[in-house]
Amino acid sequence: MKLSRLLVALACAAFAVPAAAQMRLDLNIPENRLRLLDGDSVLRTYRVSVGMPGHDTPDGTFNVERAEWNPSWRPPTTSEWARDKEFMPPGPNNPMGRVKLFFAPLYYIHGTPDSTNIGAPASHGCVRMRNRDVVELARLLHEHAQPTVAPAEIDGILRRSTTTRWSSFRAPVPLAIRYEPVVVEGDEVRVYPDFYNRSRLHSEGVIQALLAAGYDARSIDRAQVRALLQRAGTTRGPLSVKLADAFTGLRRTGLSADR
């Protein structure tokens, strides 16, 4: 009887959802922000650098499937900007930083020895992070993604900074990359530059952001939406405004107008 129960338990464990199923990454390109989430709870938010215009970071759904600690850098042979660049072995000045995380062919989340442009679109399509941030992120993924390198090994790997070590994730971590220049969060609305010129800054985009945040469509004044966009168009960089200052009469779905 005990043996049969044990076999049932093992069979259930074989089909159990891996720990990383709830852990996911979300990147909004215009924000230059990468978030690590567990379900709907934000665990970390990182400032990053996405691709500069003309070297757009791809949007869509991806999986982070492996990591390369102490990476080397080989210039992409098909890219004009890399024509005069040379191979760089692992080390403190490597443009890939201390670790890179693979999410698409030739696209990575990686560190950088130069954090000057973090928070602005400055890469050739990859997602750049400060070395300390990407190391922290990679450590967190290694705790949940069933890696082939144990988390306890990472300190030793980092000490041997000129030796590359690969780690595959048996439970890949989902990554969603979005292009949404209008963000409603808490009691603020933020409007980011449409630096890829995708014509996403329009009234409908603001309205959709408000609806997604739980606001009643009937309480949204289109004239106030247009005024917000006009103000954003004359602002250098992102515009952040309190919802109460941008909209009068705005209310949550389900609340009566006289409440």
The per-residue pLDDT for range 219-237, each reduced to its tens digit, is 999 999 999 999 999 998 8
The C-alpha atoms of residue 118 and residue 128 are separated, in whole angstroms, by 7
The per-residue pLDDT for range 62-108, each reduced to its tens digit, is 999 999 999 998 877 777 776 777 888 998 889 999 999 999 998 99
Which tokens go with 172?
A: 């890949």
Class of CATH domain 19-178? mainly beta
107-110 and 127-128 as β-strands: parallel, antiparallel, unpaired?
Answer: parallel
pLDDT of residue 140: 97
Confidence band (pLDDT; 50, 70, 90) for 12?
very low
Select from 17, 33, 80 the least CA-distant residue to 180.
33
Residue positions annotated with a catalytic role: 110, 126
Q: Per-residue pLDDT for 15 more than 70? A: no
The per-residue pLDDT for range 164-203, each reduced to its tens digit, is 999 999 999 999 999 999 999 999 999 999 999 998 889 9
Counting beta carbons within 10 angstroms of the beta carbon of residue 134, is it exposed (0 to 12), middle (13 to 18) or buried (19 or more)?
Answer: buried
Q: What is the mean pLDDT of residues 17-34?
A: 81
Where do the CATH 2.40.440.10 domains begin and end in the chain? Answer: 19-178
